Structure 1
């Protein structure tokens, strides 16, 4: 079976394919998506045209750009539909629906409780200075300078206590590593 002769637009497509692919990669940011659009462009180029095309190259590039825009619009429409669906199904009774269960699953709840217990145990065994500085900073919201003034120590001393506390807590939470 012989090859069918290429029409003018097909010939330009084949000649410019690498350049069109580079353009599509730049426009989409994805090699795979650029290849998909290039394939779609090829399918459209192969369809019989309504008449002669005076400037095949600009026409081909415009077709490619239009396909990119079509894809972007489809992505936006899909994202909007998904947001609407999530809003309806996560906030509750829109159109008589039941709200989604926002409570953690049992396994996550157990893991959270265990992690909380480890943190409390680690906090209780912190050295006194580190415990006091950590509490003043993280719970009471005082700056390092304010803590230094309150405790009558240097700002550097506060930073050292914080470093000890954070290192100790990190080791406790990671199992001694």
Structure 2
């Protein structure tokens, strides 16, 4: 009987695994931490009496949320000691994911960075409600709070996020057009070309994690960002190659120096110009760009 129950638990877990990973990743911004959360979720799930579970999906999401919230509180402290700016871990996703506007916006590097400014509880509520359309009662059960409290937290978190994320929904083709213009200027070392595609208020953030060279603080302003990009090319004799990719459901660039992976560049686009540049160079965060990660909101 126990073996049969374990088989049932395994089948249910595997069926929801992509969803559970997406929940954990969006809460944590780290694939490695998300995988650890899934392991912890599994260890608790196999001890559950499935006969007492009315909705297996909801129950699994509840366990995952609690484990992710525990880990989020831990990594918040760890990130305070992180060397230089911190960026989410980029995930290679299938090209068609970029056509799912809801998923692409939810997983974008720009929004993930905004979520970093929320408290752990606010982030959990926002992610479950806004991205995964989980009901207030379910969220309340997952967080051991009343539905009324969850309503208040959701309102506060939504107001905070709305004040910081792009006001317009940008399609994959619009992002791709801006990225193409940036790529051409980058490869040509064309400062004027960069200034034409960079918004005046653009912010560039580089994450080297103390392992790879990166500016210790964000760089703000088109002129400064453009000169930093062109100046970086001028300082090296190495061969730079720039390729297209899809990261977190959005068009991005993968940069290689003398054939070796150097980093992944994601962007935030508003009004056809780039307002955010996110360059991940930390090697520990580049392990998921050679094979696709399956993400889903449902």
- For the aligned pair, the TM-score class normalised by the smaller chain equals 0.3 to 0.5
What is the TM-score when the length of structure 2 is the normalising length? Answer: 0.23
If you compute each CA radius of gyration, which structure gives the higher value, 1 or 2?
A: 1
Bigger relative CO (Cα 8 Å, ≥ 6 apart): 2
What is the TM-score when the length of structure 1 is the normalising length? Answer: 0.37
Structure that is richer in helix per residue:
1
